[in-house]
């Protein structure tokens, strides 16, 4: 349980965690030096200084006791007290109360040593004047009040050491932060380049930083080049195959149009049309990575354009809830292609479809719902795989596809930094497909 609580409060970024690793030892060293060195060392110094002063005050007290009366005692000890930088009063009016300020840590040791070393000590005042010590001693000639500088019993430089230690630590921490930021900048640039490439964009990137970061950056560039070559080769191959197949299909359609129309020719024409649709689907799948450039786009206008195009094609499609006009960075051609594929799937397996959109500060969600049979929950992950047809789950009476509609939509969603989610439609009763794009 404690591990989960600690993890919850840990910084999430690499820079934050590295800064924490840097600061913890510095703060720990400061605490250790403050407690061990300052507390122990300066308490020892304070005790030694206070013992010396206590011996001097004890000698003055003995001289007062040896005098015959207060006047002669004062005359006898005034010169000695002045030599010891101490002011005395005899007899004194009232006893001095014992008190110190709560943050006066060395004052505790001063009072403790004076009380142990000075017989007849009646009070020590360290609070009235932080630069002086005032105490009273009961003598044979009456109360003796003595005042001397606080510097005689307390070390004068603990605060200077603390200030120096904190100032140097702050300076070194600042320098370390600047150095740390320079070392982590290549990591951030590599992450930005990798994230952009995952969304279909290619950012200029040059390996920099430490040897390990340069090796990672070079490996990323090599991987990106291989993936780009593979995508280009796949697109060229499918484009070539499609071009080569369209020629005989066109001849077949022309020959069928010149033949006498009957049930057989109509069936052959439908087969040729299905083959051409399959070729178009193959090309859409091959061009999924070849997206247009991002540009400010109004999601509501994009949905309306897709619905209007589907209606012109004879599909029964309606508009769902749409957000207020807004500009969101999108690849409109790619998103329109993904929505068109989802709408095609919806009307193929149902009687009607509805396209909607939701815009929040954190996400943009396009939704396509239908009234078809839907897809069982345990088969939805497999449904987005290319060339997979879920015959038991989806109605095939209205024509089959090649199993690429959901896969193309999922690829386009991922290349926008989002995902394709499949769920049940609460209102239409069929499938609800959502393209979720984080903002």
Instruction: For residue range 385-402, list pLDDT tens digits in order.
Output: 766 666 544 444 444 455
Last residue of a domain, one of 156, 188, 213: 156
pLDDT above 70 (res 141): yes
Asked if residue 89 belongs to a domain, the reply is yes
Asked if residue 233 belongs to a domain, the reply is no
Nearest CA among 47, 27, 152 for reference residue 105: 47
Q: What is the mean pLDDT of residues 417-434?
A: 89
Counting the structural domains of the chain, the total is 2
- For residue 50, the enclosing domain spans 2-156
What is the rounded average pLDDT for all residues in the chain?
A: 82
pLDDT above 80 (res 156): no
Asked if residue 222 belongs to a domain, the reply is no
Asked if residue 59 belongs to a domain, the reply is yes
Between 133 and 27, the higher pLDDT residue? 133
Q: Which residues pair with 319 in a beta bridge?
A: 355
Burial track 29-43 (b if 16+ CB lie within 10 A, e otherwise) = eeeebeeeebeeebb
Nearest CA among 368, 373, 420, 370 for reference residue 392: 373
Asked if residue 301 belongs to a domain, the reply is yes
Angle at 34 between CA 18 and CA 162, to 5 degrees: 90
Reported pTM: 0.51
Last residue of a domain, one of 156, 174, 199: 156
Asked if residue 253 belongs to a domain, the reply is no
Instruction: For residue range 372-381, list pLDDT tens digits in order.
Output: 888 888 888 8
Asked if residue 111 belongs to a domain, the reply is yes
DSSP classification of residue 38: I
Could you give the CA distance from residue 137 to residue 123 in angstroms, rounded to a whole number? 8
Q: How many CA atoms lie within 13 A of 24 on its CB side?
A: 7
Asked if residue 267 belongs to a domain, the reply is no
Q: What is the mean pLDDT of residues 333-362?
A: 89
Last residue of a domain, one of 136, 156, 176: 156
Between 436 and 389, the higher pLDDT residue? 436
pLDDT above 90 (res 303): yes
CATH of the domain at 360: 3.30.565.10
> φ, ψ for residue 70 (rounded to 5)?
-60, -35
DSSP classification of residue 12: S
Could you give the CA distance from residue 26 to residue 331 in angstroms, rounded to a whole number? 49
Task: Give pLDDT, residue 145.
Answer: 93
């Amino acid at each position: 349980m404690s591990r989960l609580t600690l993890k919850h409060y840990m910084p999430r970024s690499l820079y934050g965690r590295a800064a924490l690793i840097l600061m913890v030892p510095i703060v720990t060293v400061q605490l250790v030096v403050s407690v061990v060195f300052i507390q122990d060392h300066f308490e020892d110094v304070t005790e030694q200084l206070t013992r010396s002063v206590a011996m001097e005050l004890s000698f003055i007290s003995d001289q007062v006791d040896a005098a015959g009366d207060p006047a002669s005692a004062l005359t006898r000890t005034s010169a000695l007290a002045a030599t010891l930088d101490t002011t005395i009063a005899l007899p004194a009016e009232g006893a001095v109360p014992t008190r110190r300020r709560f943050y006066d840590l060395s004052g505790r040791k001063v009072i403790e040593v004076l009380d142990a070393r000075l017989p007849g000590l009646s009070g020590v005042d360290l609070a009235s004047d932080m630069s002086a010590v005032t105490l009273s001693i009961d003598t044979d000639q009456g109360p003796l009040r003595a005042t001397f500088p606080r510097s005689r019993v307390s070390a004068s430089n603990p605060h200077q050491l603390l200030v120096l230690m904190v100032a140097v630590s702050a300076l070194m921490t600042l320098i370390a932060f600047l150095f740390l930021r320079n070392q982590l900048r290549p990591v951030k640039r590599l992450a930005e380049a990798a994230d952009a490439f995952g969304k279909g964009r290619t950012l200029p990137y040059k390996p920099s930083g430490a040897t390990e970061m340069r090796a990672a950056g070079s490996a990323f560039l090599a991987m990106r080049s291989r993936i780009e070559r593979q995508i280009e080769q796949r697109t060229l191959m499918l484009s070539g195959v499609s071009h080569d197949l369209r020629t005989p299909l066109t001849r077949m359609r022309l020959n069928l149009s010149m033949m006498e129309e009957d049930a057989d020719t109509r069936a052959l024409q439908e087969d040729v049309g299905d083959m051409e649709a399959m070729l178009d689907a193959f090309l859409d799948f091959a061009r999924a990575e070849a997206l247009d450039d991002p540009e400010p786009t109004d999601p509501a206008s994009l949905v309306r354009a897709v619905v209007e195009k589907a209606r012109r094609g004879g599909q029964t499609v309606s508009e769902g809830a749409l957000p207020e006009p807004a500009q969101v960075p999108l690849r409109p051609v790619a998103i329109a292609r993904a929505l068109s594929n989802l709408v095609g799937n919806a009307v193929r397996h149902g009687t009607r479809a509805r396209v909607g959109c939701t815009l929040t500060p954190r996400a943009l969600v396009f939704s396509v719902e239908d009234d078809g049979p839907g897809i069982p929950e345990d088969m939805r992950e497999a449904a987005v795989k290319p060339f997979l047809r879920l015959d038991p789950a989806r109605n095939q009476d209205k024509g089959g596809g090649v199993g690429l509609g959901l896969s193309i939509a999922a690829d386009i969603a991922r290349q926008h930094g989002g995902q394709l989610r499949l769920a049940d439609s609460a209102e239409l009763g069929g499938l609800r497909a959502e393209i979720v794009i984080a903002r």
